[in-house]
Chains A and B, each alone.
Chain A
Amino acid sequence: MIVRLRQPKREIEIDGVHTVNQLLDGLDMNRESFLVIRNGTLVPGDGRLDEHDTIEIRPVVSGG
């Protein structure tokens, strides 16, 4: 699947993950610090991901 990342904007391709939690854990991203979005809709931690999905992992922490 195509995964869009922010800060900075970039794309990576990842295979073999089936849920949001697996995806974040695999990228060593704390679930408290990110949201996962598919087609403009949030997907919860146990939400299933498909290999054809394009998703965004959005950081939620700001330093201001």
Chain B
Amino acid sequence: MTYSKCRVCREPAIIDLPRHNANFCAEHLLQLCRRQVQKAIADHDMLSFDDKILVAVSGGKDSLAVWDILTELGYQADGLYIGLGIGEYSDVSYDFTAAFAVERGLDLHTIDLRGEYGYDVPTAAKVTKRVPCSACGLSKRHLFDKAALDGGYDVVVTGHNLDDEAAVLFGNALRWDVEYLARQFPVLPARPGFPKKVKPLMRLTEREMAAWCIVRGIDYQVEECPMALGNKHLAYKDALNAIERESPGSKSAFYLNFVDKMAPLLAGHSQAASGELNDCTACGAPTTGETCAFCRLTDRVSGHDPVPVELVLNKKARKAYLAAQAAAGE
């Protein structure tokens, strides 16, 4: 039994969205999400119905939701899943992704880091002695770019949502990192060696995206990546959600007003976006040096014996990971 009513139809609500000062039933929650995606696409010239689209899918709520929304709206979108080798977490994530694609008759491409490049994310983190998210992000960016260009795709879609973008903005603003601030746009245009990349979920929170998946019956990887536990990105999200609770709408105002008002002032201030690039001597990808960062990484880590996930976690993350493993085994 509920008391709140849908703002649109006055039927019983299933969700309260304080930032809209409103409640919604299932049907009108989906309508809200679709309209926010359509507005993002239109405002930023993200996609056309003729585009051949590649969606970067992880098995999490955001990437499956954006793939679902785009195909529902009539876009032609295939998926690409990269097997990162993060133990059972990656295995389960792939299962959710594959099931989603099969149920909807969608084309899913897969790349297995260990099988095709001789390493996985935990091993790369151990060998390079850098945080796991560094090797993970580097690998994904390179392989999504390469797959899009090789496959003749017009644009890569990622499932970054409003919370993701606000957290990145928060981190960049804490350091006043103009280089990164000047590159934080919801659309990165194509340039030689790089496909166009867009973020159609930029106007939707992750609570709304999780709700989309639940209403649409999409099973997704709910558990957190063990390598991400305790990272700064999560700390920034917690901080923003604490503010959001006290002042609903702050998070979207912070990010969307940045995009509308600050990003134009910062255009052209990124040296990386405007600097001269060379072709990587190994793979041909654009790079500021002779060899690109991905090829340097694979040279260094490929062929190492796999390192178990728990050996590259900090103390707090390892404790949480082992507790989750124990719970899963019960």
User: Which residues from chain A sit less than 8 Å from chain B, CB to CB?
Assistant: 6-10, 30-35, 37, 40-48, 58-64
> B241 and A64: CB pair below 8 A?
no
Contact indicator A46/B3 (Cβ below 8 Å): yes
Q: How would you classify the secondary structure of chain A's contact residues: helix, strand, loop or mixed?
A: loop
Interface mask (B217-253 → A, CB under 8 Å = 1, otherwise 0): 0000011110011010110011001101100000000
Chain A proximity mask over B308-321: 1 for CB below 8 Å, otherwise 0: 00000000000010
Number of interface residues of B (CB under 8 A): 45
Which residues of chain A are near B13, meaning CB under 8 Å? Answer: 44
Which residues in B have their C-beta under 8 angstroms from that of A33? 207, 237-238, 241
- Total A-B residue pairs with C-beta atoms closer than 8 Å? 106
Quick check: B215 and A42 within 8 Å, CB to CB?
A: yes
**Out of B206, B209, B210, B224, which one reaches A7, CB within 8 Å?**
B224
**A9 contacts across to B, CB distance below 8 A:** 223, 324, 327-328
| A23 shortest CB reach to chain B, Å | 14
Contact between A64 and B60, CB atoms less than 8 A apart: yes
- How far apart are B111's CB and chain A's nearest CB, in angstroms? 17
Q: B210 touches which one: A8, A43, A47, A60 (CB < 8 A)?
A: A60
Contact A61 B16, beta carbon cutoff 8 Å: no
Asked if A44 and B224 sit within 8 Å, CB to CB, the answer is no
B61 interfacial contact with A, CB 8 Å: yes
